[in-house]
Amino acid sequence: MQVTISSEPNLQKIDHLFVLVAEKRRPDDESVEALVTRAGFTGRADESITLLTEEPRKTTLIGVGKGEDLSIRTLRAALYSVGKVAKKHRDRRIAVQIPYTLAGADAEETTRFAASVLAQADYKYDAYLTVKKDEKVLPIEATIVAPEGLGRKELRAVESDAAALAAAIRTVRDLGNAPSNLMTPTRLAERAAEVAKEVGVKATVYGRKEIERMKMGGLLAVNRGSNEEPRFIVLEYAPRRAKKHVALVGKGITFDSGGISIKPAEKMEEMKFDMCGAAAVIGIIEAAARLELPVKITGAIPSTDNLPSGSAYKPGDIITMMNGKTVEIVNTDAEGRMILADALHFASRTKPDHLIDFATLTGACVVALGNEATGLFTSDDELARKLIECGDRVGDRLWRLPLWDEYKELIRSEWADMKNSGGRWGGAISAAVFLKEFVDCPSWAHLDIAGTAYAERETPREVRGATAAGVRVTVDFLQSLSR
């Protein structure tokens, strides 16, 4: 939905007002107080009630629980309910009153966050639902009631920042949710170039011949089983006043069947999400450009699908990578690291101050952290600290796992410089250790988003499907570089 912020929304023009209500601290508003009392509303986090009122006709109270301040998860859940209720009621214009601030944040920050979340609250990937097409619900226009003390100029800035981030997150979710028969490497590259053009970012797309010329052995090996051409996408955002240069790499496996080491049928359809790292990179750069952040950013995205065929790469094969190192394939399902290796080498050559990669890399990371945290791997303690702090602030959380050299033992090969899989134990770590062999940048971080990039089912905070994990934390990190 489209979100504006206004200190005095015209209630006559609004179909439905939503008010967040905490258990202990009631909103400081007489008419709301009267409704709360009349309805016997307690404010518990799972409580909500829609009441008939005068102006506007409907008011919905949404409970946000006990806390003195709002937590990010509570606010997200509350705003997601707003979206759901508004959709059900076919509301066209709604207003949302948030009389609290996030813990550790001021009213301005809370409003900025709320606006970007609310913009996504009615999101649904419905591009291919033909049944409900004719009764397609019209877009909802939402107004957040502005907190006191913010001037017009500040409000407009908050509004446009939130819209920039929300647009980028939408791009990421649409890319991630698209099925792999349509979101091929070729299409992904086209979309990347389209988005780049829209926000004034340079895009270069390399095809098979150029990828061969660059000797990207990992990307070519994985692509051998496919009928789709591989793509290597480079995005360059270079604002004039840039102080720092950050390179971003994203895993762009448009479908991961496992290849010859084929995956079981159950949930294999979820492997259309295996390009969510790539989508995150595109979205982060889109956001940075829209926000005009003074940071130079290079994005590098290797893309192919991973399929079995007569020409597919096989266990036992030895592959020479772009940086000259050799890899013995023991499992063709460990394909992400093969394509990322070349991209990390490519990105290292651009000599960035920081290098960050995003990948739905391992099931082992999901076993370790579930769906609440992205796995963070880095040897740079300062970078770890900053990224974790940014993630906590914006509710896109990271949890650090080790990257010790001892784990290198797991990927030792007798026939080549290393194997592409270290087996099950510590699988997320051995994958990260593998990637490290291809990085030449002292400040590198690897984000394993396998458990966070998509929601397998609806949660109290979001719909099923791509979540854009990694985007908020990285945009906040990029902003912190220029603060």
Catalytic residues: 263, 337
Q: Which of residues 162 and 343 has its CB atom nearest to Zn ion in the complex?
A: 343
Answer yes or no whether residue 364 interacts with ligand BES by CB under 6 A. Answer: yes
Question: Binding to Zn ion (CB under 5 A): which residues in 175-204?
Answer: none
Answer yes or no whether residue 396 interacts with Mn ion by CB under 5 A. Answer: no
CA distances (Å), origin 431, targets 272, 307, 361, 465 = 20, 20, 8, 25
Residues shown for the chain: 483
Which residue in 336, 422, 426, 427 binds Zn ion (CB under 5 A)? 336
Q: Which of residues 162 and 450 has its CB atom nearest to ligand BES in the complex?
A: 450
Q: Which of residues 22 and 219 has its CB atom nearest to Zn ion in the complex?
A: 219
Q: Tokens representing 62? A: 């949404």
**Residue 174 binding: pick among Mn ion, Zn ion, ligand BES, none (C-beta 5-8 Å cut-off by kind):** none
CA distances (Å), origin 82, targets 19, 48, 49, 62, 174 = 9, 10, 11, 8, 22
Q: Which of residues 329 and 463 has its CB atom nearest to ligand BES in the complex?
A: 329
Q: Is the distance from CB of 362 to CB of 453 less than 8 angstroms?
A: no
Answer yes or no whether residue 259 interacts with Zn ion by CB under 5 A. Answer: no
Question: Binding to Zn ion (CB under 5 A): which residues in 265-284?
Answer: 274
183: alpha, beta or left, given left = phi > 0 and alpha = psi -120 to 50? beta
Q: Is the distance from CB of 20 to CB of 99 less than 8 angstroms?
A: yes
Q: Is the distance from CB of 91 to CB of 83 less than 8 angstroms?
A: no
Longest alpha-carbon distance in the chain: 78
CB of 479 to ligand BES, least distance (A): 28
Question: Binding to ligand BES (CB under 6 A): which residues in 312-351?
Answer: 331, 333-336
Query: Which residues share a beta bridge with 6?
Result: 145
Peptide bond into 56 cis (omega under 30): yes
Q: Tokens representing 313? A: 């790469």
Number of residues counted as binding ligand BES (CB under 6 A): 16
Answer yes or no whether residue 462 interacts with Mn ion by CB under 5 A. Answer: no
Question: Binding to Mn ion (CB under 5 A): which residues in 202-261?
Answer: 256
* DSSP assignment of 286-315: HHHHHTT-SEEEEEEEEEEEE---TTS--T
3-state secondary structure 49-99: EEEECCCCCEEEEEECCCCCCECHHHHHHHHHHHHHHHHHCCCCEEEEECC
Q: Which stretch binds Zn ion (CB under 5 A): 31-39, 70-78, 254-262, 397-405?
A: 254-262
**Residue 331 binding: pick among ligand BES, Zn ion, Mn ion, none (C-beta 5-8 Å cut-off by kind):** ligand BES
Q: Which stretch binds ligand BES (CB under 6 A): 80-88, 228-236, 354-362, 436-444?
A: 354-362
Question: Binding to ligand BES (CB under 6 A): which residues in 260-299?
Answer: 274
Contact flags string 234-253 toward Zn ion, x per CB under 5 A: -------------------x
Beta strands in 138-294 (DSSP E): 141-145, 202-206, 231-237, 244-250, 252-256
Encoded amino acid at 260, one letter: I
Q: Which stretch binds ligand BES (CB under 6 A): 35-43, 320-328, 356-364, 468-476?
A: 356-364
CB of 143 to Zn ion, least distance (A): 42
Contact flags string 319-358 toward Mn ion, x per CB under 5 A: --------------x-x-----------------------
Distance separating alpha carbons of residues 191 and 453, to the nearest angstrom: 19
Q: Which of residues 65 and 336 has its CB atom nearest to Mn ion in the complex?
A: 336
The alpha carbon torsion through 36, 41, 44, 45 (nearest 10 deg) reads: -70
Answer yes or no whether residue 305 interacts with Zn ion by CB under 5 A. Answer: no
Which residues contact Mn ion by CB under 5 A? 256, 333, 335
The footprint of ligand BES (CB under 6 A) covers 256, 274, 331, 333-336, 360-364, 366, 421, 427, 450
Residues that bind Zn ion (CB under 5 A): 253, 256, 274, 336
